[in-house]
Structures are given as C-alpha cells and as structure tokens.
Amino acid sequence: MVSVIAMDGPVASGKTVVGREVARRLGFRYLDTGLMYRAMGWQAVNKRVPLDDAFALARLVVETEILLAEDGSGRVTVDGQPLGAELEHPDISRSASLVATVPEVRQAMVAQQRVIAAEGRIVMVGRDIGTVVLTDADLKIYITASVRVRARRRWREIQAAGQEMDFEQVLRDTEARDHRDSTRADSPLRAAVDAVTLDTGEMDIEASVQAILELMDERKTGGPEGP
Ligand code: C5P
C-alpha cells in the first residue's frame, strides 16, 4: 500500500498545487514544507536577525514554534501568530531560501516533518523530502519544468496577488533561488535516485494529478502490467 508520498521540485514546478490535489483525492494529509521555511524566513526578518548570521539563525530556530496545518489549508502559526499571504511575498521567498541553507534550521524542520509523517497517509512536498526527510517513502515524485515556464507561472501568481513585478525580475529571482537551492551544501535540491520525474511544462494540473494517481495504482498492482 502506498501511504507516504514524497514530492520534490524547484520553484513553481507545480508541486504544491498538484500535491495538495493528490492528497485531497486520496483523503491523505498534506504538508507543504516550504511554508515552514517561509515561516522561519519571516521570523528572522520580524526579529531583525541578519540572514547571513548562521549562528543567530540557529539560535532563533530553537526559540521559535512553527505549527503548520496538515489539511491542505496552508494555515501556519509562528509563536501563536497566524500568518497567511505575507509568507508568499517575494522578499520572504528570498529570506526562506537563505535561512534554509543553515544546517541547524534544516535539522529542526526535518525532525518536525518526520514526526508528522510517522502516522502515514500523507503527501509531503518540498526540496529534500525524497532525498533526506522521508527516504523510505512509498512513492517519490520529482516534479519540474523549464525555468521560463516556472517563472511565468510565478509571475502570474504575483500578479494575481495584486503585486507588481517585472517578468525579467521574476525570472532572475527564480534562477537565483534555483541556484541557491541546488548548490547549497546541506540537502541540495535534486531528484532522489528512486524518484519518478514528472515534467509539467506541457501538462495542466489535472494531467499531473492523473499521472501521479496512475503511478500509485502501478505500485499497488506491482507494475504497469499488474502483478
Ligand atoms: O516551496 P517554497 O518556494 O515555498 O519554499 C521556499 C524555500 O524554502 C525554498 O526556496 C527552499 O530554499 C526552502 N525549502 C527547503 N526545503 C524544503 C522546502 C523548502 O529548503 N523541504
């Protein structure tokens, strides 16, 4: 039985929206681990901790309580304070990817994520879920698309949120975040060796969801031809 699904991928690959929908259809819990790093990035800015001070960030993570809903609602609280749209701001995307380079921050997040996953029936989404957090996951998906396609999606999201940003700027930010996420020393973004790669460049959300549900069926029956 497939009970734990790990989904990783770069910025705006579609992993969040696709992962949430897969979880909804299966009646599984859903956890977007990016929100935990965003919450931590927000807390660092809020507490005026310099984003290049790894020592101070390591201390801050110990003092901070981040709680994330497991129902797909994306509800997050930091030390009891509910956060929402502010976590999607481009400045917080940047601070999240900076705090995420600090090993002590990652260790704290990973420990919390493993406790949440232990009960099973979950789709967990992030950058290092298949490679580090849940190496024994029943199904690992690496979801991706070209950087231009992803930057265009991100740009549309920013527009929809009523924020103004030049497309070229979004493209540069996406490239910078990809670079930082995939070259950091601790848990760089990459596909696990046993992950199935899904390129969503030419796929809409429904097609991506269907592809994953089919992979689940194959795992249950022992392969495309059955047992
Ligand atoms: O997925 P999202 O864009 O919300 O993640 C924000 C940042 O958090 C990423 O750019 C990445 O640096 C970091 N992150 C991570 N590991 C995860 C999830 C997110 O390092 N499992």
pLDDT band at 224 (very low <50, low <70, confident <90, very high): low
State mean pLDDT over 98-103: 95
For residues 43 and 76, give the distance between their C-alpha atoms in angstroms, rounded to a whole number. 12
* Residue at 139 is within a domain: yes
Distance (angstroms) between ligand 1 centre and the Cα of 220 equals 30
Tens digit of pLDDT for each residue in 172-204?
A: 999 998 998 899 999 999 999 999 999 999 999
Q: What is the dihedral of CA 212, 214, 218, 223, to 10 degrees?
A: -100
Q: 3-class SS at 179?
A: helix
* Residue at 135 is within a domain: yes
Is any atom of ligand 1 closer than 6 Å to the C-beta of 128? Answer: yes
* Residue at 71 is within a domain: yes
pLDDT value for 223? 62
> Nearest C-alpha to atom 4 of ligand 1 is from which residue?
34
122-126: strand order across its sheet:
29-32, 122-126, 4-8, 139-144, 196-199
Number of domains in the chain: 1
pLDDT value for 164? 87
For residues 104 and 55, give the distance between their C-alpha atoms in angstroms, rounded to a whole number. 9
What are the backbone angles phi and psi of residue 4, rounded to the nearest 5°? -120, 120
> Nearest C-alpha to atom 6 of ligand 1 is from which residue?
34
> Nearest C-alpha to atom 20 of ligand 1 is from which residue?
100
CATH of the domain at 77: 3.40.50.300
Distance (angstroms) between ligand 1 centre and the Cα of 166 equals 22
Is any atom of ligand 1 closer than 6 Å to the C-beta of 181? Answer: yes
Indicate the pTM of the whole model: 0.92
